[in-house]
Structure 1
Amino acid sequence: MTASKKQMKLGAFLMPTGHHIAAWRHPEAAIDAGIDVDHYVRLAQSAEAAGFDMLFLEDAAGVREADAEIASQTSRSIGFEPLSLLAAIAARTSTIGLVATASTSYNEPYGLARTFATIDLLSGGRAGWNLVTSASEIEAANFGARGLRPHVDRYERATEFADVVQRLWNPNNRTAALDHKGEHFEVKAGLGLEPSPQGSPVMVQAGSSDVGRNLAARTADVVFVATQTFDSAKSFYDDLKARVSAAGRHPDAVKIMPGVSPVVAETRAEAQAKFDELQELIPDEVGIALLASYLSTDALKGLPLDGPLPELTATQGMQSRQALVVEQARRDNLSIREVARHFAGARGHWRLVGTAQDIVDELEHWFVGGAADGFNVMPAFFPGELDAFNALIIPELRRRGLFRTAYEGSTLRANLGLTNGAGA
């Protein structure tokens, strides 16, 4: 393949023991990784040494599974509050971007804007906010809500929330009165903070529904997305870039970065053996519970695992993820067990197993073919698969001229090729 003149952007998506649901059972995994700050710092420093644009931390304001036994077998419910963790990582890194998830459903715009602006200043202009609208009944119950807000209502609140935050981050409003009075929020004053060297934190969004795409087109600098085929990735990419243009922004103002979970080794056989080892560690009940959680359904209970995925009613939860899973199940004629085991590997994201040449061939195809501006890398287990990515895939990307050999600047916006934010 011919190398592109532009270079892809890479995020390192951190998870306590890894993105594979059974990563915590891997013999090289650290069981207490979720509450070991040194573990996260080591991963951050490794990603920075490799030249990654950013770290990415996701979050949920509650445990992941209602069943305590299932939750105890995933390790995903044990972990630090991400903004506090970013502050700790910021002190022990120098250039890599620092992106964390925070929900518009259970925060207020002023407090969130102030916290991210502070981390942005403390880190020298490296912070980013991943905007989400919480889609879990468990989270809702932790904040006095009587069930999950309807999808459209969550995005109406998110749209006003994002608007207020971006106005608070605007240098002209840092000390002046804001005087915002909207349907969901009233905010009087500015933040009382100077802008960071990048102007304002980078705005990241991960929703793929129609309303999520519209919000991203208006507000996002980076969009993360779950896609599994080149055609679906290309369709999303073209659609979102068109919406960005329609919103009066240049298409290059938004970087689209699909999630990818690679398992890489020197030979294809070694890579497949590593992946097979992880797959064998998935208990059926854990895989089914994870799948049901993301589909926001209890329709799988009692069904034969070797039978087909049933018809599902529309969800108020993660609508785009439900659509992705159903599409894959129908396309590949998968049983419930097969869908669950596949989903457990990367939660519906693109999965690649092979040599560095195999994997970079695929990444380059999506990148050069106009289906991605880069990728949010989701190692199956830590630190092993991040180390393998850095040792095998990064050199191959550089050999083809697809990835930087040194950081272009000292801020996240500079390295992403974005202009300074919020009017700075």
Structure 2
Amino acid sequence: MNVYFDVLIVGTGAAGMYAALNLRQDLKVLLITKAEAAECNSYLAQGGIAVARDENDLDSFVEDTLKAGKYENNVEAVKVLARESRENINQLIRYGVEFDREHGDLQYTREGAHRINRIVHCKDQTGKKVTEALYKEVKRRRNITVFEGTCLIDILRVGNTCCGGIAVKNGEVFFIHSKFVLLASGGIGGLFKNSTNYCSVTGDGIAIALKNGIKVKNLNYIQIHPTAFYEEAPNGRRFLISEAVRGEGGKLINKNKERFVDELLPRDVVSKKIFEEEEKTHMPYVGLDITFKPAAYLVKRFPGIYRECLKKGVDITRNVIPVTPAQHYFMGGIEVDLYAQTSMKNLFACGEVSCTGVHGANRLASNSLLEALVFSRRAAKLINSTIDFVNRLDAKAPDIPLNPDIEQKRNREIAIQKFKEVIGGLKSELVSC
């Protein structure tokens, strides 16, 4: 089946939906996701969104991001991130996101490697509240169509120009012809045994880029989060214990109740210290203690974490939380410029599937949603200004009908093989659900 749109967006996380909302309303836009709209890493984000407090905070925000990223960041991209942070937070507020406030003003918290409190939040469910608000706005737009349960298996192209995508929905192959394609298909956590990501997030966009000779970058830059809830036999993804718990004073302790690390160091440093402590004490986890805070405060500040831990038999107001590191985020991805353009004409990439260079070798806490917002908006603005001058190039559909199952399996195999090549010692951690 052939369908025609002005813009095809792959992924319904923050990057995909925010891009759609920033596109002109006279454009015909298709948003597709291979699972349900809410099954994205954006939805799972707990801690919040980093934002420059004011003009005086811009330089320190940039410096904190560069330091966490081991100075391997794209400095210009980091400056863009900081400069445009406030206007994107204000846009979310206009879309109805109710960030926590104190005496009417936005309330800011602190997380690892930030020198000041600069993170806005919706208790411990920021990603959920943001994606719900964006999806509500998407559903209002008559020019935006959403296909759930629709998996992109390849792109349509003529030479080095992208002109659509090939997707599967209910076993039927769709040839989606469009003037622009924006990949916002997420990261790679579903390829790992222990990850805080949804199992459906399996690096599809990266595999399609590799298959089509599109430039990728820093595929070995994979972030391990220090504090995932420890379970002997986890079923599916690991439950994340937000860095905000440590930002609010939570202490990491070993089995002897001794602190062994500064909890607000960058994530890679804290993760390494936890691994060392586990090996030293012959324990598969360490403890995260926040019990010294008032119980009423904890329940109000971290309602989602409180409820989920309680289901697992841990009352965070009384018990130390068992935690261990798990794969969390992907700093590498499809190489893009400051407007999210890839090396293929008319193809953009935003969010975790992309590599803007903002994060360098290690992402600063709460910069992920911000990056998704800033660069997807920039991509949308560029599309708005150039789409009237772009002619649609219809790629010829394959003569032999595609086998959807084979193509999806091939994409997964490509992704797994590539990451086995680039991450070496973590090979045993690959391939989960």
TM-score, with structure 1 as normaliser: 0.30
TM-score, with structure 2 as normaliser: 0.29
**Which has the larger strand fraction?**
2
**Which has the larger helix fraction?**
1
